[in-house]
Amino acid sequence: MSEARQRFTPEELREVLQHYALGKLGTAKDYPRGSRRSPKVFLQSERGSFLLKRRAVDRDDPQQVAFTHALLDHLQATGFPVPKLITTTEDETLLRLDGRTYELFTYVRAERYDSGLGETQHAGRTLGRYHARVSTFEWDTTTRRVSYHDRGKILKGLNTIPNTVSSHDSVIGHETELLMLTQELYERYEEAGDAVNRAGFAQWPETFIHGDWHPGNMLFGGQKVAVVLDFDCVRIQPAIIDLANGMLQFSILRGDAPPEEWPAFFDESRMRRFLMGYQSRVAVSDEQLDALPALAVEALIAESVVPIAVTGSFGMHPGYGVLQMVRRKVRWIQDNADRMVGWMRDAGGG
C-alpha cells in the first residue's frame, strides 16, 4: 500500500495562522504536490498569496532548518529565483508547535515543466547558476554529507526488498525473479560506484548541492525557470552529484502505462540540452564527464530503492514493477555509456 498523503486539520491550520499577520483570509485549500509526508496549503489573503508547509518529521531538525533558511536568504540576496520566507509575528522564519515544524512562503504563479528543450536547457543553466551562487555561502554548523553515491544504505535496502515486497500480488509466483533482479541491481550499483571512485570522486571540490534537482521542484515562465523549490535535501557533495541527477530527471521517459512498460531509453535531446545549459555557467572536467553515466546509474537505483525498501512501493506503483523498469534503464545507460561520454565531451567538457 502506498503512503497516504498527510493533510492539515482545520484546528491545526487555525492555530498555525494565528502566528502570521496575513490579514483577512480569502482562500485556504490543500496543495497536493511534493512529498506525501509534508502537507501544504495554498492561502490567499488580502496581503497576497502564500504556501504553508509542514515539514516531514525526518526533515524538521531545527538546526538543519535554520541552515536551509540562511541559504534561501543568501540565494535571494544574490538574485537567484527562490520563494521568499514569511516571518511569524515573533519575527521568526521557523514556527514550532506541538513538536511540528512549519514554514510560510510567498506563492509564485508559474507553470509546470512541459518537457520542452528550451525549458530543459534553462533548468541546466539554472543549476549552474545555483552552484555559482552557493560558492560564496558560508555556514559553520555541520551539514549532511550523504548522497546517492556509494552508500551502504542503498545496498542494505536492496537486500531488504525481497522481504518487503514479497507479499504483493505482482510478486507471487515471481519470487526467484525478484531475487535475481535485486542481486543484479546490487552488482550494477556497486560497479557504478567503483567506476566513479576510480574517476577521482574523493578529490573533487565540494559545495552545497541542492540534492533533489528535478522538474517537480521548479516552476517555469516563458521557457525559463521562474522559481526553484524544496531545499530540504541540501547537503555537501561535489556539484556533479546534482548534475548527474538533473540530466537523468529531465530526460527520463515515462508514459501512461505501468512503470514496467516504460521505455528503457532516455530522451537524449533533453539530456544534451540540460548539460549544455549547465556548461554555459560551469565548466565540467573530462574526468567528471566520464563519470556521469555511472553516477546516473547510482541515482536511478538509489531513488527507487530507498522508498521500496521501506514501503514495498514507489508512490502509487508496486515496487516490483518499478524495479523492473529501473533494471532496463540501468542496462541501457551502461550499454550506451561510451557513446554518451563521446557526445558529452564534444559538447565542450574540460
243-259 residue pLDDT tens: 999 999 999 998 788 89
**pLDDT tens, 154-167?**
999 999 999 888 77
Strand partners, 29: 42
> DSSP strand E in the chain: where?
25-30, 40-45, 48-54, 95-97, 100-106, 206-209, 218-221, 224-228, 235-238, 313-314, 317-318
pLDDT band (50, 70, 90) for residue 141 = low
**pLDDT tens, 188-224?**
999 999 999 999 999 999 999 999 999 999 999 999 9
Handedness of CA 307, 311, 317, 318 (dihedral sign): positive
pLDDT band (50, 70, 90) for residue 349 = very low
Q: Which residues contact 2 (CB under 8 A, 6 or more apart)?
A: 36, 311, 313, 315, 316, 317
Q: How far apart are CA 42 and CA 142, in angstroms?
A: 33
Q: How far apart are CA 292 and CA 240, in angstroms?
A: 8
**pLDDT tens, 79-132?**
999 999 999 999 999 999 999 999 999 999 999 999 999 999 999 999 999 999
Candidates 34, 234, 243, 239; CA nearest to 123 is: 243
Q: Is the pLDDT of residue 350 over 70?
A: no
Q: Is the pLDDT of residue 322 over 50?
A: yes
Q: What is the mean pLDDT of the chain?
A: 92
Name the pTM for this structure: 0.92
pLDDT value of residue 292: 97
Q: Is the pLDDT of residue 2 over 60?
A: no
Q: Which residues contact 259 (CB under 8 A, 6 or more apart)?
A: 314, 317, 321, 322, 324, 325
* Grid cell digits, residue 124: 541546466
- % of the chain surpassing 90 pLDDT: 78
The residue with cell 512549519 is: 102
pLDDT band (50, 70, 90) for residue 288 = very high
Strand partners, 237: 207
Q: How far apart are CA 48 and CA 45, in angstroms?
A: 5
Helix (H, G, I), strand (E, B) or coil at 230: coil
Q: How far is CA 314 from the centre of its chain?
A: 14
pLDDT band (50, 70, 90) for residue 275 = very high
Question: Rounded to 10 degrees, what is the CA torsion of 133, 134, 140, 142?
Answer: 170
Q: Does residue 218 or residue 173 have the better pLDDT?
A: 218
Q: Is the pLDDT of residue 35 over 60?
A: yes
* Grid cell digits, residue 152: 551502504
Task: Identify the structural domains of the chain with CATH numbers, from first to last.
Answer: 10-106 (3.30.200.20), 117-346 (3.90.1200.10)
Q: Which residues contact 222 (CB under 8 A, 6 or more apart)?
A: none
Candidates 106, 116, 101, 134; CA nearest to 48 is: 106
Please measure the distance between the N-terminal and C-terminal CA atoms of the chain and give it in whole angstroms.
47
DSSP character for 217? G
What is the CB-side half-sphere exposure of residue 24 using CA atoms within 13 A? 2
pLDDT value of residue 166: 78
Q: Does residue 3 or residue 24 have the better pLDDT?
A: 24
pLDDT band (50, 70, 90) for residue 151 = confident
H-helix or E-strand spanning residue 288: helix 286-311
